[in-house]
């Protein structure tokens, strides 16, 4: 077997392991999912209405290291995430998983609006989460760049 074929086989096995962990996610405890020295980063915006009533966000970032602190932080927000986040896409590459979706927010007297959100998980070779990032995505800089390019 060539080096390239061996690497392809290893990546396929890693993706299959990650897929199996994700399939059982709802039935697995945080103790079973998280590595002892997991790094959890929550970069979720505090969402509110801006001056014209559109969706606006003020940044909030939490970073914790270690299973106990990560478990506590996840317990505090996970119920809301399950209720208010819709996953629209996923990408699995080796020991990494990236999820894209929408954080649905209801402002007073308005319909539900959405903020883009992403989650990144990095697993070790025994299926424990080593890095876990959940964050809202601010698309305003991208949109401003597109507008500027279109105006030029």
The CATH class, in words, for 3-151 is alpha beta
Is the overall model pTM greater than 0.85, yes or no? no
Domain ranges of the chain: 3-151
Specify the pLDDT at position 60: 65
- Please state which of the ranges 27-36, 100-109, 142-151 shows the lowest mean pLDDT: 100-109
Question: If you average pLDDT over residues 54-69, what whole number do you get?
Answer: 75
Specify the pLDDT at position 53: 47
Specify the pLDDT at position 108: 65
Residue with token string 């500027």: 148
């Amino acid at each position: 077997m060539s080096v390239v074929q061996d690497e392809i086989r290893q990546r396929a096995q890693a993706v299959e392991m990650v897929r199996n962990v994700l399939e059982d996610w709802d039935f697995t405890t945080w103790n079973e999912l998280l590595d002892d020295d997991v790094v959890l980063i929550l970069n979720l915006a505090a969402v509110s209405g801006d001056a014209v009533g559109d969706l606006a966000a003020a940044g909030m970032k939490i970073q914790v290291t270690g299973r106990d602190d990560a478990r506590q932080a996840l317990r505090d927000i996970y119920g809301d995430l399950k209720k208010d986040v819709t996953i629209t896409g996923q990408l699995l590459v080796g020991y990494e998983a990236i999820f894209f979706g929408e954080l649905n927010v209801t402002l007073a007297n308005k319909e539900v609006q959405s903020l883009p959100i992403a989650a990144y998980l990095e697993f070790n070779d025994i299926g424990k989460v080593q890095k876990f990032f959940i964050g809202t995505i601010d698309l305003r800089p991208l949109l401003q760049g597109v507008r500027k390019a279109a105006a030029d």
